[in-house]
Amino acid sequence: MGRWTRRGFLLAGGAALGVLGTKRYGDELPSMVGTQSLQPTDRKLYMNDASGLSQTPIKHHFITEQSSSNGLVEEIRAQLKTAQAEGQSVAVGAARHSMGGQAIPRDGRAITFEHDFLELDKAKSTYRVAAGVRWHSIIKQLDAAGYSPAVMQSNADFGVASTFCVNAHGWPVTFGPAGSTTRSLKMVLANGEHVICSRQENQELFNLVMGGYGLFGVITELEMDMVPNSRLTPTYEELPAAGYGEAMVKALKADPSIQMAYGRLNVDRGSFFDEALLITYRPTDDQGDLPEVAGSGFMSKASRHIFRGQLGNERVKNWRWYVETDVGPVLGGESTRNSLMNEPVITLDDRDPARTDILHEYFVSPDQFPAFIKACQEVISASYQELLNITLRYVAQDDESVLSYAWEPRIAAVMLFSQEMTQRGEADMARMTRDLIDRVIEIGGAYYLPYRPHATVGQLKRSYQRVGEFAEAKRRLDPGLLFRNNFWDAYVSQV
Ligand SMILES: Cc1cc2nc3c(=O)[nH]c(=O)nc-3n(C[C@H](O)[C@H](O)[C@H](O)COP(=O)(O)OP(=O)(O)OC[C@H]3O[C@@H](n4cnc5c(N)ncnc54)[C@H](O)[C@@H]3O)c2cc1C
């Protein structure tokens, strides 16, 4: 099978798809606040994120320069000292693809990690990596040695420490979130101490920082699990949407050789969320001589036109479902684990300054999946929002992270909406998000925290029942509240 068909018609494998490029953060931007365009009336420094809707004034933006570990720690200590002296908050970020200011310090000092080092330990099946290294660089370096990341998100643009800080998940199975595949990390605390956190040392901090959105310190490096790279081939199964949760669990139990798995639902309004497609990847018999990791294939790029053509067009949505279910299985061929994971976000960029791609994600137990489908059918259909894609994953239980979203095994549903950048678009999205979160909480589920800050504080408390403990630890371990971002300002500070 030619290289371009391997990644195929399925629009970037398990990828959440979409966005960005044009709406990344930047300095001194005249951009969006709420939903109205602002004129640049002053020379303030601003920072935005992937949503294009989080423009926030900051005082200073520092990009790390040092490549040696010691140099980096000294650089960070100096930044923290200056921030403390000037009464500023600090927030670190890598790609700033979170969508609600989770990596932006209001009127504070932003730090962006750009440095790179990676060291393999084959005996332990781990690698040590600098905090800001992006996944495409990690994949390339592991690939050359025959390895692959254990767990990462579906796109490869993000920073590895960010992945730990949001406790991200992907579509390799049957793993829990990325925190479960992290052995240890080093971080600089508010008092300048550089400490190791792991399951053996500073365990309380380790569990707080895992999924803790950078509120406890600056991570400088991590030790992560790796697995052998492999050649995989997909199998496709069509089924009624309501049966998806049960089918995924059954498939994974029946065949431990499955290494990657995801699902899709149809999104056309006529039969919205009635049908599902489950795709599972197993190793082929031939594991010799794996090809070098590929980037986004020709078909992934070409499929952008179908993907974007869905906007306001039910016929194209229908056609895409036909392509996914009927053409994909014919053309979808072998790929390596690394090539499947190496998908850039930019592939399906909307290139439309009047709209923005907004992600939502919900975690429900597999047996509540039919109730989840019903909730989505009622709530999303009643909104004006354009849902272009939903990807379904399996996430194993996470008992470690204080802000765990998977206190039991979960089906994760990642949705990509194309939102109008207007007041009415934003108001409708906020209302719809809160309605959907209420329905998900009713069935014992949780919503994901790196996206738009539309949830209420009450919904945060009901979704994340240990958030009170998290807030208490934050005040105890960072009494000067040096590390702050919009997740603190809008949510945790009010708990
Ligand atoms: C197109 C798209 C696809 C996505 N797919 C998935 C997916 O498949 N699975 C999934 O789980 N999520 C997914 N997400 C969400 C994504 O994982 C988060 O938005 C993540 O934060 C992105 O990484 P980043 O480098 O942009 O993080 P940033 O936004 O830069 O940072 C995220 C958080 O980490 C903190 N942080 C970063 N570096 C450090 C550090 N060195 N020390 C301390 N704190 C730090 C920041 O302060 C912030 O709170 C997706 C998002 C997009 C836009």
Q: What domains can you pick out in the chain, each with its CATH number?
A: 3-17+230-455 (3.30.70.2520), 51-111 (no CATH), 118-228 (3.30.465.10)
Cα of 159 vs centre of ligand 1, distance in Å, is 7
Tell me what the mean pLDDT of segment 287-302 comes to. Answer: 78
In short, whether 416's Cβ falls inside 6 Å of ligand 1 is: no
Residue 233, Cβ neighbours under 10 Å: how many?
16
Q: What would the two tokens of residue 457 be? A: 């504080």
The predicted pLDDT at position 239 comes to 97
Closest CA to 348 of 426, 384, 296: 296
Q: Whose CA is nearest to atom 12 of ligand 1?
A: 168
The predicted pLDDT at position 35 comes to 27
Terminal-to-terminal C-alpha distance of the chain: 54
In short, whether 64's Cβ falls inside 6 Å of ligand 1 is: no
Cα of 103 vs centre of ligand 1, distance in Å, is 9
Under a CB-based contact definition with an 8 Å cutoff, are residues 463 and 441 in contact? Answer: yes
Mutate to test the pocket of ligand 1, among 63, 80, 165 (most ligand atoms within 8 A of CB): 165
The predicted pLDDT at position 335 comes to 93
In short, whether 93's Cβ falls inside 6 Å of ligand 1 is: yes
Mutate to test the pocket of ligand 1, among 47, 63, 79, 97 (most ligand atoms within 8 A of CB): 97
User: Tens digits of per-residue pLDDT, 460-490?
Assistant: 999 999 999 999 999 999 999 999 999 999 9
Pick 54 or 323 by higher pLDDT: 54
Q: Is pLDDT at 25 greater than 50 in this prediction? A: no
Under a CB-based contact definition with an 8 Å cutoff, are residues 178 and 169 in contact? Answer: yes
Highest mean pLDDT (candidates 5-9, 11-15, 293-297, 375-379): 375-379
The predicted pLDDT at position 344 comes to 86
Q: What angle do CA 319, 321, 327 make, to 5 degrees?
A: 85
Q: Could you tell me the CA-to-CA distances from 284 to 94, 156, 290, 470 in Å, in that order?
A: 36, 24, 11, 45
Closest CA to 487 of 195, 76, 54, 37: 54
Cα of 156 vs centre of ligand 1, distance in Å, is 11
In short, whether 136's Cβ falls inside 6 Å of ligand 1 is: no
In short, whether 345's Cβ falls inside 6 Å of ligand 1 is: yes
In short, whether 168's Cβ falls inside 6 Å of ligand 1 is: yes
Q: What angle do CA 413, 33, 462 make, to 5 degrees?
A: 40
Q: Whose CA is nearest to atom 2 of ligand 1?
A: 16
User: Tens digits of per-residue pLDDT, 339-370?
Assistant: 999 988 876 677 788 899 999 999 999 999 99
Phi, psi of 132 (to 5 degrees): -95, 0
Cα of 432 vs centre of ligand 1, distance in Å, is 23
Ligand 1 atom nearest to CA at 416: 1
CB contact set of 25 (below 8 Å; sequence gap of 6+) = 47, 48, 49, 50, 93, 96, 104
Q: Is pLDDT at 375 greater than 90 in this prediction? A: yes
In short, whether 16's Cβ falls inside 6 Å of ligand 1 is: yes
CB contact set of 198 (below 8 Å; sequence gap of 6+) = 183, 184, 185, 206
Phi, psi of 316 (to 5 degrees): -70, -35
Q: Could you tell me the CA-to-CA distances from 314 to 86, 276, 320 in Å, in that order?
A: 55, 17, 10
Q: Is pLDDT at 108 greater than 80 in this prediction? A: yes
Cα of 158 vs centre of ligand 1, distance in Å, is 6
Residue-wise over 463-490: b if at least 16 C-beta within 10 A, else e? Answer: bbebbeebbebbeebbeeebbbbbbbbb
Q: Whose CA is nearest to atom 29 of ligand 1?
A: 96
Q: What is the 3-state secondary structure (H, E, C) of 105-141?
A: CCCCEEEECCCCCEEEECCCCEEEEECCCEHHHHHHH
Q: Among residues of the chain, what percentage have pLDDT more than 70? A: 88
Using CA atoms, how far apart are residues 369 and 367, in angstroms rounded to an integer? 5
The predicted pLDDT at position 311 comes to 83
Residue 107 CB burial class (10 angstroms; 0-12, 13-18, ≥19): middle
Under a CB-based contact definition with an 8 Å cutoff, are residues 150 and 226 in contact? Answer: yes
In short, whether 170's Cβ falls inside 6 Å of ligand 1 is: yes
Mutate to test the pocket of ligand 1, among 53, 115, 133, 153 (most ligand atoms within 8 A of CB): 153
User: Tens digits of per-residue pLDDT, 2-18?
Assistant: 222 233 333 434 544 33
Tell me what the mean pLDDT of segment 162-167 comes to. Answer: 98
The predicted pLDDT at position 388 comes to 93
Q: Among residues of the chain, what percentage have pLDDT more than 90? A: 77
The predicted pLDDT at position 322 comes to 74
Q: What would the two tokens of residue 138 be? A: 């990690």
| Mean pLDDT across the chain | 89
pLDDT band at 71 (very low <50, low <70, confident <90, very high): confident
Q: Is pLDDT at 109 greater than 70 in this prediction? A: yes
Closest CA to 475 of 193, 101, 218, 215: 215
Cα of 10 vs centre of ligand 1, distance in Å, is 24
Cα of 216 vs centre of ligand 1, distance in Å, is 16
